[in-house]
């Protein structure tokens, strides 16, 4: 089977982005089309799963056609269809899955189910030709905060979870804090912008580091700290400066991410770090990680912001390896709300 430069169609519908992309040889992005539902969910202050599914259903066929058109690729040119199988909102994942299965069946092409978090990690390959395992990945998204070790094995890439959040994911904490501060959804980009005008040392929120040596995370304490601070100020009729709170919250989160990553690098000895997932679009986090890595002689690989937040190019990239290994799924492939790495 032809795999050099193989054309993979990726489909991603696990949350509130309907996305399709075509990559050649896994790493060359020929098209990357994303229809965001942010405006739809904004009025509710968060993603409403049922509404997300309906919008995926309405958008997905047009988005897939657009991805092929932009890539200048016909249906018969495709070598495989890769699709996010989970973790995610199961009704939303199902729409992408049904679309991919329909295409794979009608076109007689292989179907490859992709783990969403593996796809986020693979996003780093898209613009960094020189990146190869072994490396450490810090995945920071709306649903996950994980430290993952990526190594190359005989059967392809192996991933090992070193640590994960025990409560809120970091993106979730950003979104909740944004709501308390009266900012829009999604909160991450709003806090990113607002924090630039604030003092990160204005309020000291507790950095939760858990047991000595642990690579797990906990962000619920920082989130609750912000909520308590805002409520206390309001109750006492005292003014508070939202930009200062945003900057102080962000500083606390980044300090924890920085410290856990330092520890993971020390424990594993890796000299390459991938920062990925929606929160990796955060300007202060990117700057801090770069500074940390420069000081530790570690090379940092961060995707461009468009490949940090949900997209289908990363799904096609992750699907490429499975395609090369002949690791295909059949039409019984399920959608998963939770899925181990």
Q: Give the footprint of Zn ion on this chain (CB under 5 A).
A: 141, 310
Contact partner at residue 282 from ligand KG4, Zn ion, none, CB < 5 to 8 Å by partner kind: ligand KG4
Site membership for ligand KG4, residue 309 (CB under 6 A): yes
**Is residue 254 a contact point for ligand KG4 (CB under 6 A)?**
no
Binds ligand KG4 by CB under 6 A, chosen from 89, 126, 281, 300: 281
Distance from C-alpha of 68 to C-alpha of 66, rounded to nearest angstrom: 5
* Residue 225 partner contact from Zn ion, ligand KG4, none using kind-dependent CB cut-offs of 5 to 8 Å: none
With contacts defined by CB under 6 A, how many residues of the chain interact with ligand KG4?
A: 19
* Local structure of 248: helix, strand or coil: helix
- Residue 52 near ligand KG4 by CB under 6 A: no
**Beta strands 7-12 and 80-86, pairing class:** parallel
* Residue 12 CB, nearest approach to Zn ion (Å): 8
Q: Which stretch binds ligand KG4 (CB under 6 A): 4-12, 221-229, 260-268, 275-283?
A: 275-283
Give 153: exposed, middle or buried? Use CB within 10 Å, 0-12, 13-18, 19+. exposed
Q: How many CA atoms lie within 13 A of 100 on its CB side?
A: 39
User: Is there binding between residue 186 and ligand KG4 (CB under 6 A)?
Assistant: yes
Q: Is the peptide bond before 55 cis (omega within 30 degrees of 0)?
A: no
The sheet that has 80-86: what strands, in order across it? 28-36, 17-24, 7-12, 80-86, 111-115
Asked if 319 interacts with ligand KG4 (CB under 6 A), we say: no
The residue within the footprint of ligand KG4, chosen from 31, 32, 84, 141 (CB under 6 A), is 141
Task: Find which of ligand KG4, Zn ion, none residue 113 binds, CB within 5 to 8 Å per kind.
Answer: none
Q: Does 313 bind ligand KG4 (CB under 6 A)?
A: no
**Three-state SS sequence of 67-123:** HHHHHCCCHHHCCEEEEEEECCCHHHHHHHHHHHHHHHHHHCCCEEEEEHHHHHHHH
Rounded Cα distance between 13 and 313, Å, is 12
Binding partner selected for residue 192 from Zn ion, ligand KG4, none, CB under the kind-specific 5 to 8 Å limit: ligand KG4
The angle subtended at Cα 324 by Cα 319 and Cα 326, nearest 5°, is: 95
Q: Is 89 in the site for ligand KG4 (CB under 6 A)?
A: no
Rounded least distance, CB 164 to ligand KG4, Å: 14
Site for ligand KG4, rule CB under 6 A: 15, 141-143, 171, 174-175, 186-189, 192, 277-279, 281-282, 309-310
């Amino acid at each position: 089977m032809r795999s050099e430069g193989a054309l993979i169609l990726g489909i991603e519908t696990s949350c509130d982005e309907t996305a399709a992309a075509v990559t050649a040889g896994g790493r060359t992005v020929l098209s990357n089309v994303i229809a965001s539902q942010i405006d739809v969910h904004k009025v509710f202050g968060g993603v409403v799963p049922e509404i997300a599914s309906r919008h995926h259903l309405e958008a997905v066929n047009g988005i897939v056609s657009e991805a092929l058109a932009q890539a200048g690729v016909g249906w018969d040119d495709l070598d495989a269809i890769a699709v996010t199988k989970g973790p995610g909102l199961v009704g939303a994942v199902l729409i992408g899955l049904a679309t991919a299965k329909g295409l794979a069946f009608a076109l007689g092409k292989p179907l490859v189910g992709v783990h969403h978090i593996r796809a986020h990690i693979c996003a780093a390959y898209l613009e960094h030709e020189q990146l190869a395992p072994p490396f450490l990945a810090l995945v920071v998204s709306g649903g996950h905060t994980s430290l993952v070790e990526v190594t190359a094995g005989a059967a392809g890439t192996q991933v090992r979870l070193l640590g994960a959040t025990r409560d809120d994911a970091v993106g979730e904490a950003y979104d909740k804090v944004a709501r308390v501060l009266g900012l829009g959804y999604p909160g991450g980009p709003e806090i990113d912008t607002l924090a630039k005008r604030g003092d990160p040392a204005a309020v000291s929120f507790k950095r939760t580091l858990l047991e000595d040596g642990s690579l797990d995370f906990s962000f619920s304490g920082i989130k609750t700290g912000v909520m308590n601070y805002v409520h206390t100020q309001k109750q006492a009729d005292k003014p508070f400066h939202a930009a200062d709170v945003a900057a102080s919250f962000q500083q606390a989160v980044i300090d924890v991410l920085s410290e856990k990553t330092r520890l993971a690098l020390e424990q594993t000895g890796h000299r390459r770090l991938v920062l990925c997932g929606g929160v990796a679009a955060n300007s202060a986090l990117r700057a801090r990680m770069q500074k940390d890595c420069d000081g530790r002689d570690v090379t940092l690989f961060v995707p461009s912001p468009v490949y940090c937040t949900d997209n289908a190019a990363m799904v096609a990239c992750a699907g490429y390896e499975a395609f090369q290994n002949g690791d295909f799924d059949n039409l019984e492939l399920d959608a998963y709300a939770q899925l181990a790495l």
